[in-house]
């Protein structure tokens, strides 16, 4: 079975992440979305909330693949998670050239740590190329309309939290 891990902060998940996930699910038998619990990188939502929001987003947007997509929170090295669950691929999205250097460095480092794990990149669809979680948070904070940018499950959360969040 071809198992891939799609790691990230997902704070929050955007339509760009969903697009990458959809395409990864078309290639791999099982995709594990791994939400980083990182005390050093202050996330707006705690990991449990992000996991729940992603699960709801998968049910909403990727229903036909939902039985092959799992969402977990993880701490520590991504390659250690891969070893624990028998995943041999890491999924990352590339929006633009600006993403490339950091992603290249991370892919090489992960390969150094775990030569059996390969990173597979999906080019984010053009309509999502400008999208980032941090921009979504900022737009929502100032009361802008993020409905075209995120799954409905996220919209509910951003709206619930109010503009001062």
User: Residue with CB nearest ligand PNS?
Assistant: 8
Rg (CA), the chain: 15
150: left (phi > 0), else alpha (psi -120 to 50), else beta?
A: beta
* CA separation for the pair 70, 9 (Å, rounded): 15
Binding mask of the shown chain, residues 67 to 106, with x at each position contacting ligand PNS by CB under 6 A: ----------xx---------------------------x
Q: Whole-number minimum distance, CB 53 to ligand PNS, in Å?
A: 14
Annotated catalytic, 112? no
Residue 9 or residue 124: which is nearer to ligand PNS going by CB? 9
The dihedral sign for the CA sequence 144, 150, 156, 157: negative
| N-term to C-term CA, the chain | 42
Q: Binding segment for ligand PNS among 2-10, 25-33, 121-129, 134-142 (CB under 6 A)?
A: 2-10
The dihedral sign for the CA sequence 161, 129, 19, 4: negative
Among 5, 7, 33, 122, the residue binding ligand PNS under the rule CB under 6 A is: 7
Please name which of 82, 64, 57, 93 lies closest in space to residue 2, comparing C-alpha atoms: 82
Q: Please identify which of the residues 22, 92, 95, 128 carries the catalytic annotation.
A: 95
Annotated catalytic, 133? yes
Q: Which residues bind ligand PNS (CB under 6 A)?
A: 7-9, 36, 77-78, 106, 109-110
Catalytic site positions: 17, 41, 95, 133
């Amino acid at each position: 079975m071809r198992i891939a891990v799609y790691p990230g902060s997902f704070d929050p998940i955007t339509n760009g992440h969903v697009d990458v996930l959809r395409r990864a699910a078309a290639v791999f038998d099982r995709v594990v979305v791994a939400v980083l619990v990182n005390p050093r990188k202050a996330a707006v939502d705690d990991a449990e909330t992000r996991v729940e929001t992603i699960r709801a987003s998968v049910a909403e947007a990727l229903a036909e693949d939902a039985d092959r997509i799992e969402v977990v929170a993880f701490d520590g090295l991504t390659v250690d998670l891969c070893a624990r669950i028998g995943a041999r691929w890491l999924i990352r999205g590339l929006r633009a050239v600006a993403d490339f250097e950091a992603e290249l460095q991370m892919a090489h480092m992960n390969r150094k740590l775990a030569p059996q794990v390969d990173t597979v990149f999906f080019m984010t669809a053009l309509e999502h190329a400008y999208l980032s979680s941090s921009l979504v948070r900022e737009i929502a904070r100032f009361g802008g309309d993020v409905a075209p940018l995120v799954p409905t499950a996220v919209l509910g959360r951003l709206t619930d939290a109010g503009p001062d969040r």
